[in-house]
């Protein structure tokens, strides 16, 4: 567990860039769609990180909760989002039983003890609650390690090389494309990058649902 905390602390400065460039808005929309979230629902963002997914829940009139084991990332989520964010682990969630209408987990389940985490998810879901998980079927640590050490411009070039695509001139010549303060450009870049990379790499992985008492988790590679 300490190794996981150290790893995510190490990449925390480029973590948001990774999410916006690699995953884009299509993934968050799909997760929320599968969760069938309704107004006044109580939703848990499990392993919330800096709140990338939680931010997409704002404006939906839901109660947002987040839990993560990395203090540095959790502090970012608390500053950005109107929700309740706490330090904790998936194997021992700090919540009462039947607390949530939906639990979302993006690209983190492979780090958990599956049996313990599944038990806690089941315990904290309300009857007929929904659990949506995404994870990579073939994680490539090299990409994540690179994000910890290289600047944004180098990472974008790396992803294009991996996708077998030339670097787009409009992005190459536009320095604002690498300005993390530019939300509009950042999201547009993420959408564009995903269309190129996902043809060669299954970065999104399987998405599956667990309805409390009805289905089992499937599609996760050990």
Let me know if residue 219 belongs to a domain. Answer: no
Residues 133 and 145 in one domain: no
pLDDT of residue 117: 87
pLDDT of residue 97: 94
pLDDT of residue 128: 84
Whole-angstrom Cα distance, residue 73 to residue 12?
7
Q: Range of 28's domain? A: 2-12+23-137+205-211
Structure tokens at 145: 């390690």
pLDDT of residue 28: 80
CB 64 within 8 A of CB 54: yes
Query: pLDDT (tens digit, 9 = 90+) per residue, 140-150?
Result: 445 445 444 44
Give me the torsion for CA of 82, 109, 104, 31, rounded to 10°.
Answer: 120
Let me know if residue 221 belongs to a domain. Answer: no
DSSP 3-state of 160: helix
Positions in the chain whose pLDDT score sits under 50: 137-141, 143-144, 146-156, 158-222
pLDDT of residue 81: 92
Let me know if residue 129 belongs to a domain. Answer: yes
Split into its structural domains, the chain has a count of 2
Distance between alpha carbon 35 and the CA centroid of its chain, in Å?
A: 14
Whole-angstrom Cα distance, residue 61 to residue 215?
27
pLDDT of residue 199: 31
Bridge-based pairing of strands 63-68 and 100-106 is unpaired
pTM given for the model: 0.60
CB 35 within 8 A of CB 130: yes
Residues 108 and 122 in one domain: yes
User: Which whole-number Å values give the CA distances from 205 to 15, 27, 109, 125, in the listed order?
Assistant: 19, 10, 12, 23
Structure tokens at 58: 């704002």
pLDDT of residue 58: 92
CATH code of the domain containing 133 = 3.40.50.150
């Amino acid at each position: 567990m300490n190794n996981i905390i150290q790893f995510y602390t190490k990449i925390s400065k480029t973590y948001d860039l990774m999410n916006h460039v690699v995953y884009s808005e299509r993934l968050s929309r799909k997760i929320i769609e599968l969760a069938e979230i309704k107004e006044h629902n109580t939703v848990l963002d499990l392993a919330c990180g800096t709140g990338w997914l939680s931010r997409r829940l704002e404006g939906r009139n839901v109660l947002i909760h987040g839990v993560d084991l990395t203090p540095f990332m959790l502090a970012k989520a608390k500053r950005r989002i109107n929700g309740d964010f706490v330090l904790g682990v998936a194997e021992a969630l700090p919540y009462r039983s039947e607390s949530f209408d939906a639990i979302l987990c993006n690209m983190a389940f492979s780090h958990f003890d599956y049996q313990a985490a599944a038990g806690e998810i089941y315990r904290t879901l309300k009857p007929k609650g929904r659990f949506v998980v995404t994870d990579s079927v073939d994680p490539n640590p090299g990409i994540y390690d690179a994000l910890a050490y290289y600047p944004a411009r180098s990472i974008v070039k790396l992803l294009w090389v991996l996708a077998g695509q030339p670097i787009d001139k409009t992005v190459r010549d536009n320095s604002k494309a690498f300005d993390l303060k530019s939300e509009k450009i950042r999201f547009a870049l993420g959408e564009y990058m995903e269309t190129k990379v996902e043809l060669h790499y299954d970065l999104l992985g399987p998405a599956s649902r667990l309805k409390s008492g009805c289905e089992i988790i499937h599609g996760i590679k050990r």
